[in-house]
Amino acid sequence: MTVTNAESAAELSAPAAAEDPLVGIARQLLIEVGEDPNREGLRDTPARFARWWREFINYEPGSMGTLFESIGTSQLVVVSDIQVWSLCEHHLLPFNCSVTIAYRPTGQLLGLSKFARVAHYYAHRLQVQERLVDQIAAEISNLCGAPDVAVIAKGEHLCMSMRGIKAAAQMTSTALRGEFSTSPALRSELFDLLRT
């Protein structure tokens, strides 16, 4: 195959594909910790690092608002042990949470998979666990119009397990809205369900 002068001139004038800035950051990080980003085993690491960050932060949960007609307003609906990963905004280290969401429907039931979609949507960002439960509670309340919403998360934070004190521990945080914040009987019912 013969390359014409016009083709080679076009190739020379075409701008090189811009490198993802996260690739450069990862390469520099490897250098700063004493590694050679060009050595076997690390050559593709900066690109993998960049893809992971883009995938995590740009998470798209899909439809979160599928609703069904409720069969009663005295029900307590609890979806428990939704596993999510997030990133500590203070150290950029992961934390994982087991999230439980409870609500009392007021005419609309939220589709079961939507609870996990909502939890993952708010977890896929730089976060603190206390804000995470509050955002999930607000979104559930907004989606189904239910004022009585409770979100409980138990999490292990690698910023504590891997650095500093280097001790694994579980942190529990809650967001209690509506009657969950004012009714000891409703809170007791919820916690009794979670213990069984």
CB 160 within 8 A of CB 147: no
| Annotated catalytic residue within 35, 108, 156, 159 | 159
| Annotated catalytic residue within 55, 90, 130, 170 | 90
89: annotated active-site residue: yes
| Annotated catalytic residue within 88, 97, 124, 144 | 88
144: annotated active-site residue: no
Amino acid of residue 154: K
| Annotated catalytic residue within 120, 124, 135, 157 | 157
91: annotated active-site residue: yes
97: annotated active-site residue: no
| Annotated catalytic residue within 120, 129, 135, 139 | 129
| Annotated catalytic residue within 91, 108, 156, 179 | 91
φ/ψ of 48, rounded to 5, equals -65, -40
| Annotated catalytic residue within 83, 89, 130, 170 | 89
Three-state secondary structure call for residue 172? strand
Task: Write the CB contacts of 53 (distance below 8 Å, at least 6 apart in sequence).
Answer: 22
Task: Write the CB contacts of 90 (distance below 8 Å, at least 6 apart in sequence).
Answer: 128, 159
CB 144 within 8 A of CB 174: no
- Where in the sequence numbering do the catalytic residues fall? 88-91, 129, 157, 159
